[in-house]
Amino acid sequence: MLKSEFVVVNPIRTNHSGPVRWLASHLQHNLWLVVVSILGAFGNAALASAIPIYAGQAFNAARGDRVDLQTILWVSLLMVGTQLVRSLLQLARNAASEVQGQRLERDSRQELYASLLGKSMRFHDGYPTGEMMARATNDVRELALLVAPGLNLVIGSANFLIVPILVAPSIHPQLIWTPLIFTILYTISLAQYLQELSPATTQVRTSFGQMNSGLTAAIEGIETVKSAAQESVEIERFAKNARRVRDAFVGQGRVEARYLPLLLLGIAQATGLWHALVLFRAEILPLGDVVAYTGIISLFSFPVFVSLFAYSQVSSGVSSARRILELLRSETELDRNEGGYSEKMRGEICFENVTFGYDSTLTEDGRNGLGSSGSQAAQASRPALEAVSFTIEAGQTLALVGQTGSGKSTVAKLINRIYDVSQGQVTVDGVDVRDWNIATLRQQISIIEQDIFLFSRTIGENIAFGRPDATEEEIVGAAQSAQAHDFISTFPEGYHTVVGERGVMLSGGQRQRIALARAFLTDPAVLILDDSTSAIDSATEDQIQRAIEAATRGRTTILITHRLSQIRWADKIVVLRKGRVAAVGSHEELLEKSQAYRDIFARYS
C-alpha cells in the first residue's frame, strides 16, 4: 500500500497492478449492470437474427402458384413481436452501460482526487499543474466514454459475431464455414489493429496533456506574460503544442484507415452468397434459406463498422486509465502515520543538526521513501539548510532573520512536516515530527505565509477554513482580533462576500489580515508568521502588532520577519546565513556579538 498524508476510506477496493485490472475492479462494484449489458447485447443480437430467418420463411411462403398468406401473417407478427422485445433489451442494455460509465467516472474521479490530496509537496512541486488537471478532467471523462459507448458497442458487436455461427448450421451444416472462418480472421486482424492503435491513442492523450499544461502555465502567469509583452510568443508556443495534438490525431487516423475487417466483410458476404447459391442449385437449399443465410451474413456488418469507432474509444479509455493510474501509483515519501503520537501539543520545538535540500531523496536513517536505499541524502544542489540546530521552549517567541534565500521559510515547512529533513531531526515536545500523527501535528500548528492563498469562497468560509464548524460569532471575533472586521463590513455582503480566484479582489494587506483571522480562529499551539505583516500599511501596524502580541501570548511563536518592532520583543533570535545558523541570542546580545545581525539591523532600521 502506498504512503499517503491523507486517506479517504474508499468503498471500492481497486487493483492498481494495471489499467485493465484497475478498470475491472471498478466495474465489478456494479456487477449487475455488467450482467444486464451482456444479456441485453446477446438478446439484441439473437433477435436481430430473427429478421432474416423470418424473411426467408416469408419468401418461401410467397413463392409458387399458391401464396401462403397465413404463414406470411404469422411471420409478420413474429417479426413485430421479436423487435419489440429487442427494443426493450436494447433500452435496458444502453441504460445499464450509461449508468455504469457515469459511476466509473464518478468513482475514479473521487479516488484520484483523494490520492492527489494525499501526495506530498515533493510530488506536487515536480508535477506540472496543467498535466495533472488534464488527467483529472479529460482523462477521467474518457473512462465514461470507454464504457458507453465503447464497451457497450464492443460487447454488442461480439454477440453479432457469435450469433451467425450459432444460427447458420440450423439452415445447413455446411454454411457454418463462412461465418466461422470470417470470425477467426476478424479476431486476428482486430488484435493486430489494436496493437497498432494503442500507442497512437496514448500519444493523443499525452500530447493533449502537454498542450493543457502549457496553457495552464500561461494563464496562471498571465500578469507576467502581459508585463513582458510576450503574448505572441505564448500564442506560438500554444500553436506548436496544438499542432502536436493534431499530428497525434492524424497518426491515429492513419492507423484506423488500415482497418482490414472492412475488406474481410466484403469477402465473407461474397463467399457466403456463392456458397448458398451452390447449395440452391444443387437443390439442397430452398431459395428462402438463401435469403435468410445472406441476411445472417450481413449481421457481420454491425461489428465491422462499429468496431472501427468502438475499439478506438476503448483504446483511448485504456490509455487514459494508464495515465490516471500513473498518478495513483506515484510514490510519496510522507505518510499520515495513523498510529503515531497524537497528544495535545505544548509547543517545545528543537532542531538537531538538520540538513535539508528540496531535491534530496532519502533521510539519514532511510525514513523518507522517495529513494530506494542508501545512507546519505542525495542532493543535486546546495542544501537549503545545513547542520541547523536551535531550541524553542514552549510558549517562547523566536524570530528568524536572515537575507533572502537563507532558509527561513524552509524551517517552517519542516516543523509541520510539509517536507521531511534529509539529515538530523526536528522534534516537537521531544517527539520526532515523523513519529507524530500527521493530522494531529498539523492541526495544532498554524502557518501564515507571505503569499496568502484564499479560496474562491466567501470571506467567512476562508476564515473558518481550519474550523468549518465555527459559529458566525467566532468568525467575527477572529476577524476583529486580526483588525479585519472593519474592512469586511464595508462590503455589501459582509462576511458572505465571495472573493475572487486566489482572493484577487482584495489587497495584499486585506488578504493577510484574513489569514491572521484564520489562524486566530484555530487557536494553534504553535503559530508561525512568515513575513505575514509585510503588506500591512503603517496606519494599522500598531493595531496589528497588538493583535499579534495577544495571539502569541501563551503559545510558541516563530516570527520570520524583517520588522524590527517584532524582532525586538522575541525571546530568542536565530540569524541564518546561506542555510546555516550564524548566531543565536537576544536582540541586545546579537547587536553586541554578531556582525551578520548588525548588518541586517542596519539595513532594515
CATH architecture of 19-328: Up-down Bundle (1.20)
Checking if the pLDDT of 580 tops 70, the result is yes
Strand, coil or helix: 329: coil
> How much is the pLDDT for 439?
85
User: What's 265-317 look like in SS3?
Assistant: HHHHHHHHHHHHHHHHHCCCCCHHHHHHHHHHHHCCHHHHHHHHHHHHHHHHH
Does residue 532 carry a pLDDT above 50? Answer: yes
**pLDDT tens, residue by residue, 272-291:** 999 999 999 998 989 899 99
Q: What pLDDT was estimated at residue 370?
A: 36
Calculate the CA 546 to chain-centre distance. Answer: 43
Q: Does 80 or 63 have the greater pLDDT score?
A: 80
DSSP 458: B
Q: Nearest-CA neighbor of 376 among 368, 335, 384, 390?
A: 368
Q: pLDDT tier at 541 (50, 70, 90 boundaries)?
A: low
What confidence score (pLDDT) does residue 547 get? Answer: 64
For 166-222, what is each residue's pLDDT tens digit?
A: 999 999 999 999 999 999 999 999 888 888 888 888 888 888 888 887 887 788 778
Would you state the pLDDT for residue 454?
A: 84
Question: Averaged over 302-331, what is the pLDDT?
Answer: 87
Output the average pLDDT for the chain.
Answer: 84
Pairing mode, strands 423-428 and 397-402: unpaired
DSSP per residue, 5-73 = SS----SS----S-HHHHHHHHHGGGHHHHHHHHHHHHHHHHHHTHHHHHHHHHHHHHSSSS--HHHHH
pLDDT at position 375 is 32
What residues does CATH 1.20.1560.10 cover in the chain? Answer: 19-328
User: Which residue spans of the chain are classified as CATH 3.40.50.300?
Assistant: 340-444+562-605
Q: What is residue 65's predicted lDDT score, i.e. its pLDDT? A: 65
Which residues 6+ apart lie within 8 Å of 222 measured at CB?
Answer: none
- Average pLDDT of the segment spanning 91-120: 90
Between 404 and 359, whose confidence is greater? 404
Question: Is 119 exposed, middle or buried (CB count within 10 Å of its CB: 0-12, 13-18, 19+)?
Answer: buried
What pLDDT score was predicted for residue 537? 57
Tens of pLDDT, residues 223-281: 778 877 888 888 888 899 999 999 998 998 888 888 888 889 999 999 999 999 999 99
Start-to-end CA distance of the chain, whole Å, equals 54
- Cα-to-chain-centroid distance, residue 403: 38
Reported as a pLDDT band with limits 50, 70 and 90, residue 81 is very high
> Which CATH number among 3.30.420.40, 3.40.50.2020, 3.30.2010.30, 3.40.50.300 corresponds to the domain 340-444+562-605?
3.40.50.300
Span 484-527, pLDDT tens digits: 888 899 988 899 998 876 666 787 778 878 888 888 888 889 99
Q: What is the pTM of this model?
A: 0.72
Query: Would you place residue 160 in the very low, low, confident or very high pLDDT band (cuts 50, 70, 90)?
Result: very high
